[in-house]
Amino acid sequence: MSRGDVLLSVEHLSKTYRGQGGRPAHKALDDVSLELRASETLGIVGESGSGKSTLARVLVRLTGADSGRADYCGVDLLRARGADALFLTRQIQIVFQDPNSSMNPRRTIRQALLEAARVAEHPPADIQGSLARMMEAVGLSREKLDAYPHQLSGGQRQRVAIARALAVSPRVVVADECVSALDVSVQSSILNLMLERQRELGLAYVFISHDLSVVHHMSDRMIVMRSGRIVEAGNPSEIMRNPQDPYTRELIASVPGSGFRAA
């Protein structure tokens, strides 16, 4: 399969969270359709309540959907069981937002990576050696393997989270706000790391963030979501230059520093 082939296709996906304790039902996804092609980055930008995280969870099967279709290379993502489920696990992995909770505080980095590496289709023969290589690939020294998460900085933990996702050799990585909790200087090094890994491994990313400038920078194609719906989709630079939806225009106007940057 080469660059440009459709890996993941989602059609008319909807999901409603039932309201509890008198709260009204909440439509997290409302008729969402999208495609992800091999080796590309699909950026999804949206604010709280836009449904972007629900979408991320559906893609890695942490939650189901009410209606619609989602399939990956012909495998039904919403109904996969057994061998199909294992196949999807090995193909699609996720990196989460919070570097503080992305690692079990009571287990070492080695244990965390081992847990992921065991899921891979062809676990490397020399698994300990491969853990060291995984660490080096995300810019960490192998000595850190025996550290506990609290001994690492937020940026380092996020690097480990990326290494864990890559340990099963996936073709798709869903990044759900993976740099939102980091300082700008750390954020840029993580983004660089993701771009490097993508070039080298031919990964496809679903890159989700509330930060328009970050999504714009990372994406080949971009989707703007609001209240569970896709309000705009297309080429990132095109959207920034010529936004069609009023909400997209509001988002662009809300990026701080536009005044100084333009000058």
Partner 1 sequence: MTATIDFDAPASPSASVAADGSLRRIVRGVPWPLLAAVALFFVAGAIGLVFLVAPDLKPLVFKQSLMRAFSAPLSRGGFLGADQLGRPLEWRLLAGLGISLGAAAAVTLIASVLGLAMGLLGGFFGLTADRLVTVVIDLTWAYPTILLAVVIAGILGPGVWTVIWALGLTLWAALARIVRAQVLVLREQDFVLAAQALGYSRFYIATRHLIPNLMPIVILMATLFVALTIIAEAGLSFIGLGAQSPTPSLGKTLAEGFSFASSSIWPLVFGALTMISLVIVLNAFGDRVRDILDPKGRVPLPGRRLRDAARRAEAALPARAVDRDAVIAVDDVSVAIHGRRGATTAVSDLSLTLRPGQTLGIVGESGSGKSLSARAITGLLPEGLSLSGGRVFWDGVDIAGLPAEKLRDRRGRFVAMVFQDARASLDPLYTIGEQVSESLAAHFPGPRRSFRPKVLEMLARVGLSDPEIFYDRYPHQLSGGQLQRAALAGVLVLEPRVLIADEPTTGLDATTQKKIVALVKALQREMNMSVIWISHDLDLVGEIADEIVVAYAGQPVEIGTVEEVLKRPAHPYTLGLLESRPQATMAPKSPLRSVGGTVPDPGDWPPACRFAPRCRRALAICGTTPPPMELFDEGSGRRLRCYNPEPGAAEAGA
Least CB distance to partner 1 at residue 203 (A): 13
Least CB distance to partner 1 at residue 232 (A): 15
Least CB distance to partner 1 at residue 150 (A): 5
Least CB distance to partner 1 at residue 191 (A): 6
Least CB distance to partner 1 at residue 246 (A): 11
Quick one: 37 or 187, whose CB is closer to partner 1?
187
Quick one: 74 or 257, whose CB is closer to partner 1?
257
* H/E stretch holding 173: strand 172-176
Quick one: 138 or 214, whose CB is closer to partner 1?
214
| Residue that has been written with the tokens 């900085």 in this structure | 153
Quick one: 12 or 142, whose CB is closer to partner 1?
142
Q: 63-92: buried (b, 16+ CB within 10 Å) or exposed (e) per residue? A: bebeebebbbeeeebbebeeeeeeebbbbb
In order, the DSSP letters of 38-55 are TT-EEEEEE-TTSSHHHH
**Cα distance between residue 126 and residue 246, in whole Å:** 55
DSSP category for residue 165 = H
Count of alpha carbons within 13 Å of 81, Cβ hemisphere only?
1
Quick one: 133 or 249, whose CB is closer to partner 1?
249
